Homo-oligomer: A and B are copies of this chain.
Amino acid sequence: MSNQGFHVAVVGATGAVGQQMLETLANRDFPIRELTLLSSARSAGKAILFKGEEVIVQEAKPESFEGVDIALFSAGGSISKELAPEAAKRGAIAIDNTSAFRMDPEVPLVVPEVNKEDLRQHKGIIANPNCSTIQMVAALEPLRQAYGLKKVVVSTYQAVSGAGAKAVQELNDQTKAIVEGKEFQPEILPVGSDKKHYQIAFNAIPQIDKFEENGFTFEEMKMINETKKIMHMPELKVAATCVRLPIATGHSESLYFEVEATGVTTTDIQAKLKDAPGIVLEDNPSEQVYPMPANCVGKIDVFVGRIRKDLDEDTGFHMWVVSDNLLKGAAWNSVQIAETLVEMGLVEAK
């Protein structure tokens, strides 16, 4: 910590994403004058090391945000609903990683590479999109800018860490049990609070979050609705199928998309993505170069490969998009929003 910079609060500091946020703030050397770590009453009192200094976690309350400049929320939707407005009321900018405010028309939903200008409209709360949405729109935006975008069909290959630390533990425990020939009882996945739980080890579960009436899951509807909002394209055709897999960290996505422009080539798409911010092109089939979740863990970029033109539609393309769901999908995008607020002069230290 230094004498200059911002008073930053992290709400949910002891959780999986909270920990990643602290690590990212440290790695990025974000200018922090004072750091307040907040959590539920249960975790209050714990000591957490930040850049070699011990910080004691306090119970999050409305008055915890007095004097705070930037509050990063990742402690569940109900905490955000209660406390993000309290933080905003006290002059802090709340950057919320839950789904509580994402579709609120008053709240910007931001992926900096795509729509950082929306930050100018904030009224104290900024929402961080769903992990699977972030990496998809980051990869699509350079193509939308260059060629227009008509339609997206995505099938996801999502890691269990998106469902929290307990889900990762369940994958590990189940895998160990199966390897050792022991019994096990699924208790968390696909959705902790849903009625039934299924084996995730060596399996694929086509359910992430609960089901809506229309047969899509909430996760699928998040991808659909958030994409339209972030890209400012209410007319964009988007469909999603979200699947949970026995992978600890790293979401992959198989995308089919159609651009407006005709005559675009695979090489054109590769060139646009090669120069795009936050994107790493890994696309050389003859050398078996393509992104994989095992290679993306711990990296902040979005990795794109397997780009190829559809064999039937002149405007259709396929690609494979991989990213660390805890970093670009959560902690890094939140910290990146904070960095962007600073760059754009939209936040001042009190």
* A positions within 8 Å CB-CB of B: 151, 153, 155, 157, 172, 175-176, 179, 190, 194-196, 198-199, 202-207, 211, 214-216, 224, 237-239, 241, 243, 245-248, 250, 252, 254, 256, 266, 285-288, 290-294, 305-313, 316, 318, 320
Q: How far is the CA of A118 from the CA of B238 in the complex (A)?
A: 38
User: B246 contacts A246, CB within 8 Å?
Assistant: yes
B256 in contact with A311 (CB, 8 Å): no
Asked if residues B237 and A313 are in contact (CB atoms below 8 Å), the reply is yes
A204→B252 contact, CB < 8 A: yes
- Establish whether residues A288 and B195, one from each chain, have CB atoms under 8 Å apart when the complex forms: yes
A322 to chain B, nearest CB (A): 8
In the complex, which residue of chain B has the Cβ closest to the Cβ of A221?
Answer: B311
Quick one: closest B residue to A286, CB to CB?
A: B211
The reply to whether B294 and A199 form a contact with Cβ atoms under 8 Å apart is yes
Check if B256 sits within 8 Å of A293, measured CB to CB. no
Count of this chain's copies in the oligomeric assembly: 2
A293 to B: closest C-beta gap in Å:
6
Identify which of B196, B199, B214, B293 contacts A203 (C-beta below 8 A). B293
Contact yes or no, A311 B207, CB < 8 A: no
Cβ A202 vs Cβ B237 within 8 A? no
Assess whether B239 is in contact with A204, with CB atoms less than 8 Å apart.
no
Report if A206-B252 is in contact (Cβ < 8 Å); known contacts: A214-B308, A215-B285, A308-B215.
yes
Q: Which residues of B contact A266 (CB under 8 A)?
A: 215
User: Is B206's CB under 8 angstroms from A320's CB?
Assistant: yes
Bound-state Cα–Cα, A294 to B308, Å? 32
Minimum CB–CB distance from A221 to chain B (whole Å) comes to 9
Q: Identify 9 new A-B residue pairs, CB closer than 8 A, beyond the known A198-B288, A198-B292, A204-B293.
A: A157-B245, A196-B288, A199-B294, A206-B254, A206-B305, A207-B290, A211-B288, A239-B310, A239-B312
Complex CA–CA separation, A327 to B247 (angstroms): 26
5 contacts between A and B (CB under 8 A): A196-B288, A202-B248, A203-B294, A237-B312, A246-B247
Contacting residues, chain B, for A194 (C-beta < 8 A) = 288
Inter-chain contact A204/B292, CB cutoff 8 Å: yes
Shortest Cβ distance from residue A23 to the other chain B in the assembled complex, whole angstroms: 21
Q: Across the interface, do A206 and B256 meet the contact criterion of CB distance under 8 Å?
A: no
Minimal beta-carbon separation of A268 from chain B (angstroms): 14
Contact between B292 and A241, CB atoms less than 8 A apart: no
Of A202, A203, A291, A308, most buried by chain B (CB within 10 Å of CB) is: A202
Q: Which of A155, A241, A247, A287 has the most CB of B within 10 A?
A: A155
Among B196, B199, B205, B214, the residue within 8 A (CB) of A311 is B214
Chain B residues positioned under 8 Å from A157 (CB to CB): 157, 204, 243, 245
Q: Which residues of B contact A211 (CB under 8 A)?
A: 285-286, 288
Q: Provide the bound-state CA to CA distance between A313 and B258, in Å.
A: 14
Q: Distance (Å) between the CB of A133 and the closest chain B CB?
A: 16
- Asked if A318 contacts B239 (CB within 8 A), the reply is yes
Given contacts A199-B294, A246-B247, A306-B215, contact A288 B207 (CB under 8 A): yes
